[in-house]
Structure 1
């Protein structure tokens, strides 16, 4: 039974009079259950608990944190079908998709647990003392990454599990040694409560401090602003709109005595270069591949391909028609919530109403049923360069074809692109050689470059980069997916001439954690004094 309470560490509270309900686009009505909006006192209590917990949690061993993350994964699985059904009702996503997303969520928790056991994320570097160096001696210098402090995490609308309460931001922050305060997404409040209860159970079972995790309910920007402005919060993880991310960023910099980083993933239209040789060789397969990617999850992925750059030649018109026909075969499907559905209809009309934009295909309106159909439009490269509004994200199954005259026109147009999460190149070997300069331009604009695939589908792994230049994210050198996401919630500290007994284990001469460290410029797992180069 759902209680509708806020989780203030190990306590549950619901002192506020204001309530929220979760609306189901599946049932087209509010779901049972009232959820209490957190009061100012409850918000403060959650953050103060996180601050107190940081003193203990930041000192836990890597093995202890790994056990905590494994326990969270176990507790989420213990929720069983109740979690799948509630998430389906709150998001409209098929139960099979939710089941797969649960697997991804549990998998990334376990991946971070493994990453903790390895310990390499602390990036231990040791420069031993050189007392006899002339003209000046060198001190003993030892550097490693340490937890940054309590982190505020904002749950995303389009991934109720994998980018939400126990998603990648929470998993990476907890792995780093940072307590987490989650702002639950108002569209999936029941799902949040189920997962939050699982995290609390895991924390209690593994002996974590009270306050290592809290979950708060709020609406609009009120709760978010209070969290970001609280002096005890030291970093923010956010996935959502450009406007929302920038509002948090401004508050984190302008409205605090101590500015903090906001790692925001905000907006991307993920350009695809569909090169002429590829179209000539395999037009049907490419059209089918792109149609499936554009409509996957009703287009509600941050990696949805919203721009297609095509060289205008004798095959172009037929290819665009093939893509249009493929999109027409995809039935209307339920969107995540009322707000997203309404925004999609509005954003699509704004795109189609832009000067120089021609509608190629537009499915029937289905907004009354909270459903969306695909759309395809086209414009010229010159028009695209002159109108920055054509780079506004349409969050749903819509894509814009940009027709370029030749390689030079394509290269010039790509130079006008805003920062993106991904860029895709679909081409033959001859294409890749001929349009190499254009690919290089796009590489400067994206965080991940895909060859002869589609951008939808983000592997949770060590090498994944899910980030990109502004405005896709606020920090182009960080990822929100994969083990490298932990780096967002760490900071470097250098210990100079620190006695051995007071050094962290990661920096001690004996290397008790058996970490790979850089000692006097050489990578080794050996103790200091027995350094041997390691072939990497």
Structure 2
């Protein structure tokens, strides 16, 4: 299958603009042979209008038809075979083994949403029957259900070219709810995006759905994303990426004449509370496992454990020394893009320049080598910017003189995606106030595990208070992610024949 580099709109490929860009081999920085056309304003408008037209039909198809569609997408993704994996590996530097697992997760997400919507229980139906004899006023017949909101704009993530991209969780959730999707391809892996998009287009055709049910637009400039978010017919936005990018889209969306929700997942430092027993009795094992989590995928996970919280003296320093030794044994890996690599190196330099920061590993010079440093809790409160996310294989330890000082520091933390507690159950009582503070700061709290690796499950919450996300009430992973793209509607005193089928007696 050839990569054309054009927009995919209404089931066909087109390119009316003249601005182009090339995809890049992550390992070498050299351009591939693929050229991609920047979407024009007219093409963006046509894609959204196609979604509006499709919503008239797609928003009303049966749950069984939508489930079939999602499963067909999963099959079409699988049919792309090694070509999809090899293209993604070239553009991202992620290995074939990692991408093979990510493709499996992508397909599992699609199938999970298909199963979730089939029986209709996801509609959260409430039937409150009439009571005409009630005094002093008769009680009306009230029936509530969830309905899809309309066309949705989805932005893919750089670090998950399959599972958080074209056919990823946001797209699956929106399509499962009955919302057409206009997808903004990520410029760091546009060929991968195009391959996945053609798989969805084939599924649209095979399931005989409206052509505008799914469209994809290429674009390296902010103009394309901005035009998509501010289009008056887009009803919600899903985004995974940097704080700067997510906040910019959020600001544009709320300034619209009709403000719309932006579900932006913008990363965090994911604090890890290390209780005294770890430094005393389980130092070697935890240091090895934690080093693996910090460097997993070259640290390019939004759940990377970028902040360690400890109290104590010599034993704490011994643990950090052992962790630094473990990190030094891990070889640098190719990062997603040269821009991300350069930002990582610059971010570490900025950390090391802060007064009070003491590095335990060498600073990266020209490659993304793992990095560990520490700072006292008092200095961290004085220089809070030292705790900002550095996207890559690094972690900053905050060392307090007591649990009370650590508690005060934890209260100063902004919202996070996750928090982790490492220790023994016998210590939980003393640490309970600190754990309670962390619980209020995050969407997921973990005991004796590691935040990297997000299970796709109905109970999963991949979100958290601002600035980790723009809406702490939602999740971007798991089947409850569907409710970002629905709203409740109440039908009062409707005749049976006019009610949606799911609400009838």
Same fold at TM > 0.5: yes
What is the match of residue 81 of structure 1? 82
SS of equivalent to 1:344: helix
Aligned counterparts of 1:298 and 1:417: Cα–Cα separation in 2: 25
* Distance across 1 between alignment mates of 2:479 and 2:118: 12
Give the Cα–Cα distance (whole angstroms) in 2 for the partners of residues 460 and 426 of structure 1: 23
Please give the secondary structure, in 1, of the residue aligned with 2:234.
Answer: coil
Is 2:54–2:213's contact at 8 Å kept on the other side of the alignment?
yes
Asked if 1 retains the 8 angstrom alpha-carbon contact of 2:51 and 2:181, the reply is: yes
Secondary structure in structure 1 of the residue aligned to 2:443: strand
CA contact (8 A) 1:237 1:264 kept: yes
**Match of 2:306?**
306
Kept after mapping to 1: 8 A contact 2:48/2:182: yes
Deviations 1:93-134 (A, max 9, x none): 011001100000000000000001132221100110011111
Q: Please give the alpha-carbon distance, in whole angstroms, between the structure 2 residues aligned to 1:6 and 1:290.
A: 42
What's 1:482 paired with?
478
- Does 1:171 pair with 2:163? no
Q: Look up the match of 1:397.
A: 393
**Equivalent residue of 2:420, what SS?**
strand
Deviation at 1:189, TM superposition (A): 0.7
How far off its partner does 1:306 sit? 0.3
2:226 and 2:34 map into 1 onto residues whose CA distance is 26
- The residue correspondences of 1:373-412 to structure 2 (distance < 5 A) are 373-412=369-408
SS in 2 for 1:285: helix
Which of 478, 489, 495 aligns to 1:493? It is 489
Q: Secondary structure at the match of 1:263?
A: strand
Unaligned runs of at least 5 residues, structure 2: none
Report deviation, 1:505: 1.7
Query: Cα offset for 1:364?
Result: 4.2
Note if contact 2:153-2:181 (Cα within 8 Å) is conserved in structure 1: yes
Aligned mates of 1:488, 1:391 — CA distance in 2 = 30
3-state DSSP class of the match of 2:309?
Answer: strand
1:461 aligns to what SS in structure 2? coil
CA distance in 2, matches of 1:503, 1:92: 52
Paired residues of 1:391 and 1:418 also in contact (CA < 8 A):
no
Distance 2:278 2:326 in 1: 18
Partner of 2:421: 425
Q: Aligned equivalents of 2:148 and 2:230: distance in 1?
A: 20
Taking the aligned partners of 1:252 and 1:204, their CA distance within structure 2 comes to 32
8 Å CA contact retained: 1:270, 1:420: yes
1:132-143 residue pairs with structure 2 within 5 A?
Answer: 132-143=133-144
1:447 & 1:362 partners in 2: Cα distance? 33
Task: For 1:166 and 1:63, locate their aligned partners in 2 and report how far apart those are by CA, in whole Å.
Answer: 19
Question: What CA RMSD, in Å, does the superposition of the two structures yield over aligned residues?
Answer: 0.9
CA distance in 2, matches of 1:353, 1:451: 33
Distance 2:4 2:377 in 1: 54
Q: Would you say 1:336 and 2:330 are equivalent positions?
A: no
Match of 1:49 in 2: 50
Helix, strand or coil at the partner of 2:302: coil
Aligned residues: 504
2:257 corresponding residue in structure 1: 257
**Counterpart residue number, 1:444:** 440
Asked if 2 retains the 8 angstrom alpha-carbon contact of 1:306 and 1:399, the reply is yes
Partner of 1:360: 360
The 8 Å contact of residues 146 and 493 in structure 1, kept in 2 or not, is answered as yes
In the TM superposition, what is the alpha-carbon distance from 1:363 to its structure 2 partner?
A: 4.9
Give the structure-2-normalised TM-score.
0.99
Helix, strand or coil at the partner of 1:161 = coil
Instruction: Give yes or no for contact 2:387–2:396 (8 Å, CA) kept in 1.
Output: no
Whether the 8 Å CA contact 2:229–2:252 is kept in 1: the answer is: yes
SS in structure 2 at match of 1:158: coil
1:310-329 matches, cutoff 5 A = 310-329=310-329
Q: Secondary structure at the match of 1:378?
A: strand
Secondary structure of 2:199's counterpart equals: helix
In structure 2, how many angstroms separate the alpha carbons of the residues matched to 1:112 and 1:430?
Answer: 40
Q: How many Å separate the matches in 2 of 1:340 and 1:350?
A: 15
Q: 1:431 to 1:220 in 2, by over 3 A?
A: farther
Q: Is the 8 A contact 2:309 2:406 kept in 1?
A: yes
Extract structure 1 runs of 4+ deviating beyond 6 A. Answer: none
Give 2:197's aligned residue. Answer: 196
On the 8 A contact 2:349/2:363 being kept in 1, the answer is no
Q: Which runs of structure 2 are paired with 1:3-82 in the superposition (5 Å)? A: 3-82=4-83
Q: Structure 1 CA distance, aligned partners of 2:437 and 2:56?
A: 46
* Cα shift at 1:429: 1.3
Task: Name which of 451, 461, 482 aligns with 1:455.
Answer: 451
Q: What is the CA–CA distance in structure 2 between the aligned matches of 1:206 and 1:242, rounded to whole Å?
A: 37
Q: TM-score, normalised by structure 1?
A: 0.93
The 1-side partners of 2:380 and 2:19 are apart by 46
CA distance in 2, matches of 1:166, 1:216: 14
Distance in 1 between the 2:121 and 2:373 partners?
47
Q: Give the aligned partner of residue 531 of structure 1.
A: none
Q: Distance in 2 between matches of 1:9 and 1:335?
A: 35
